[in-house]
Amino acid sequence: MAAIEHRRIRAGRCDWHVAVAGNGPPLLLVHGWPEFWAVWEKQIERLADRFSLYVPDLPGFGETPDPNGGRPSDSLGADALADEIAALLAALGLSRVGLVTHDVGGSVAQSLGLRRPELLTKIFLFNCPMPFIGQRWRDASHIPEIWYQTFNQQPWAAEVIGSSAANCRLYIGAMLRHWAYRPDAFSEADIDRWVEAYMRPGNLQGGFNWYRAAAPARLAAMAGTIALPPKIKVPAYSFWGRYDPVLKSAWSELLPEAFETVEVSLSEAGHFPHWEVPDETAARIAGFFEH
């Protein structure tokens, strides 16, 4: 395993935890939910010989405390998180980076690509939400897959799930196993690490706050009333999990609506290609940013 340095960096509203490894052109790896920095360990191991890797915990995830103090809040949506990431890059002394993102991170990438494109060389996305999904969110066959997005917004959700490590394990473990293509993609030891991360004070609510912040845009998309953004000009590549039950691979066909230049391919994975098929993922990332 590549040597990893764990840094504390104050930037914007946040006291960031950032894992740093490797040498070479800088890549920023931004996770989704339910994740934290360690979901990128397999990529750190495979890419640290070619890139300088900066792997933060988003605010309220992992070891970056929730700036809202673990209280329900809708203040950290995609644009706000993008501003926090921009402040983090400045604090790290990075003027321009390649961006690798998944899930929540994909929403942040789109905001950065539209509002701060000068910070990015290219964008590599895994499975990601986007405004163009629109009313597909509420297709009858998809409704059973998105119940958690409403649950996570409830003011008591974090108290219920965090009332014991067993409850947290049941909930987070169910997400990891259901969303992965193979139910054994996350071992018992892996789930132990996830539970430890999410049982940190404020972390369940910090992650759930994403759903509170994202809800208005998601509901507008479902209603067909969302204002669609212009195309992002930063070159992009998407390696989407073919078997993802919640961010369906069929939606990857919408990426050309979001990006001026984008290549799309499918992986033999579910929601977590970076974890489930790490060798192929690392090869795709390296190939995209080295050419």
Q: What is the distance between the alpha carbons of residues 236 and 142, in angstroms, rounded to a whole number?
A: 27
Name the active-site residue from 66, 211, 244, 274: 211
Tell me the CB-side half-sphere exposure of residue 26, using CA atoms within 13 A: 15
Residues 104 and 33: beta-carbon distance below 8 Å: yes
Name the active-site residue from 31, 102, 271, 274: 271
3-class SS at 15?
strand
Name the active-site residue from 57, 66, 103, 244: 103
Task: State yes or no: is 139 an active-site residue.
Answer: no
* Complete DSSP assignment for 274-291: HHHSHHHHHHHHHHHHT-
Q: What is the distance between the alpha carbons of residues 236 and 263, in angstroms, rounded to a whole number?
A: 7
- Identify which of 203, 211, 194 has the alpha carbon closest to the alpha carbon of residue 246: 211
Task: State yes or no: is 103 an active-site residue.
Answer: yes
Other CB atoms within 10 A of residue 138 CB: 16
Task: State yes or no: is 211 an active-site residue.
Answer: yes
* Catalytically annotated residues: 103, 211, 271
